[in-house]
Every structure is written in structure tokens, then in C-alpha cells.
A and B are shown apart, each in its own frame.
Chain A
Amino acid sequence: QVQLVQSGAEVKKPGASVKVSCKASGYTFTGYYMHWVRQAPGQGLEWMGWINPNSGGTNYAQKFQGWVTMTRDTSISTAYMELSRLRSDDTAVYYCARASRDERWLQLDWGQGTLVTVSS
């Protein structure tokens, strides 16, 4: 079955960067877009962008352009999301989510989430 296993919780200082990984299994990694969505404590969901694991092409939400980088390593079926210049309001749970093959905007299967805490 489809599994998305994310890296563990991180604590970072303001101004630092964080890189979260999402290891996929149970399907052909390059066949499905991967989204990244975050959720601040007690808040709603915020879409950050997607990556096409086949081509490496990306589409970032305007808010995150110049600030987020999504990459992938097809040899190990893993997607990455790196956020730079962290601020305290970047404290959130970060999720990867596999898209539907036919509806690339649709987030079908989700990772367990990675808590990133930004604190001095």
C-alpha cells in the first residue's frame, strides 16, 4: 500500500533553514506529483507547492517563492522540502501529500507530518 514516511521533528533557530524528507513506497514514485502543505499550531491548512518527481519541475505558492525549494531523489523515492530564513511563524507541521494521477491538484495520500519548531 502507499506509504509516505516523513523525517522527524526539528528545532531550528530563526534565520536557519530546514529540510524535510518524505520517503515514498508502494507505488511508482515518478508517476505522481507530490504536494507540500503546512499547518501552524491550532490553525488551518496552507498549500506550499508541488513537485513533479519525474521531471523535477516545481510550482510554488506565491507566498513561498524564493523561500522554499522542493527537490527529489528518484533513486530512493524521496521528496524534499527545504525552507530557508526561518521565522517563528514558520513553526508548523509540514506534510507531504501524493497527488492523484489524473487530478494532479488533489492530495490523495498524506505523510504523517513533520513538526518544525522555530525558536531562539
Chain B
Amino acid sequence: EIVLTQSPGTLSLSPGERATLSCRASQSVSSSYLAWYQQKPGQAPRLLIYGASSRATGIPDRFSGSGSGTDFTLTISRLEPEDFAVYYCQLHAWTFGQGTKVEIK
């Protein structure tokens, strides 16, 4: 079973700063099956990135994904107030990372 480990657990940043979130797989995986979701309190998750680097429909271009093999990254180039949330990486349908909380510093 492949495990996804996200780091850091919490990221404290100010609006306008750059956020870099990491997702590491316990073994090499196909980037075709790597996705990122955003979840705000009391809301359902929202798909941001799929195929490691493709933005979902309607997602602003300040969100970008990259990586291959075992290491994947979600970057938010300039944090907007609405970006403070929890972010999950996902491998295929059935494996989620434990999440990274991006909080206001």
C-alpha cells in the first residue's frame, strides 16, 4: 500500500506570500494519478490540480502543481485571503495524504 505524506502539517504565512506544499509517496507513482484538493471549514473538498500539474476548471493560475516519481509540490504563488484552507494530495481514488493547513500568520 502506497502512503502519501504531506509536509509541513501547518504552514503559517501572510497574504501575498508564496506557499509551497509537499506530498511524498512511499514509492514511485504515476503522476497521471496525482491530484490536489482544497478544503475550507464546513465545506466539501474542491479539486484544484490533477495529473500532478493540470489545473481544474475555474482554478486561478496562482495555483500550480509539479513533481514526479515520489515527490510532488503544490505552489500558491501569492496567497489570497480565500486560499487559507487545508490542502490534500491524492493518489488515484483511494489514497489521500493527511493534509496541510495553510493558516494566516
Question: Nearest-CB distance from A54 to chain B (Å)?
Answer: 18
Residues facing A in B2-48 (CB within 8 A) are 33, 35, 37, 39, 44-47
A112 touches B44 (CB 8 A): yes
Contact check, A44 vs B56: say whether CB atoms are below 8 A apart. Answer: no
**Which residue of B is nearest A47, CB measured?**
B94
Say yes or no: is B84 at the interface (Cβ < 8 Å to chain A): no
Bound CA span A17–B67, Å: 42
How many of A's residues come within 8 Å of B, CB to CB? 21
Question: Within the assembled complex, what's the spacing in Å between the Cα atoms of A100 and B96?
Answer: 18
- Could you list which residues of chain B lie within 8 angstroms of chain A, going by C-beta atoms? 33, 35, 37, 39, 44-47, 50-51, 56, 88, 90, 92-99
**A29 sits at the interface (CB 8 A):** no
In Å, the complex CA distance between A111 and B97 comes to 21
Q: A53 contacts the other chain (Cβ, under 8 Å)?
A: no
Taking CB atoms, residues of chain B closer than 8 Å to A112 are 44
Indicate whether A11 reaches chain B with its CB closer than 8 angstroms: no
Q: Mark A97-119, 1 if CB is under 8 A from B, else 0.
A: 10010011111101111000000
User: Could you list 30 examples of A-B contacts with CB < 8 Å?
Assistant: A37-B45, A44-B96, A44-B97, A44-B98, A45-B37, A45-B45, A45-B88, A45-B99, A47-B93, A47-B94, A47-B95, A47-B96, A50-B93, A95-B45, A100-B50, A103-B50, A104-B93, A105-B33, A105-B92, A105-B93, A106-B35, A106-B47, A106-B50, A106-B93, A107-B93, A108-B56, A110-B44, A110-B46, A111-B44, A113-B44
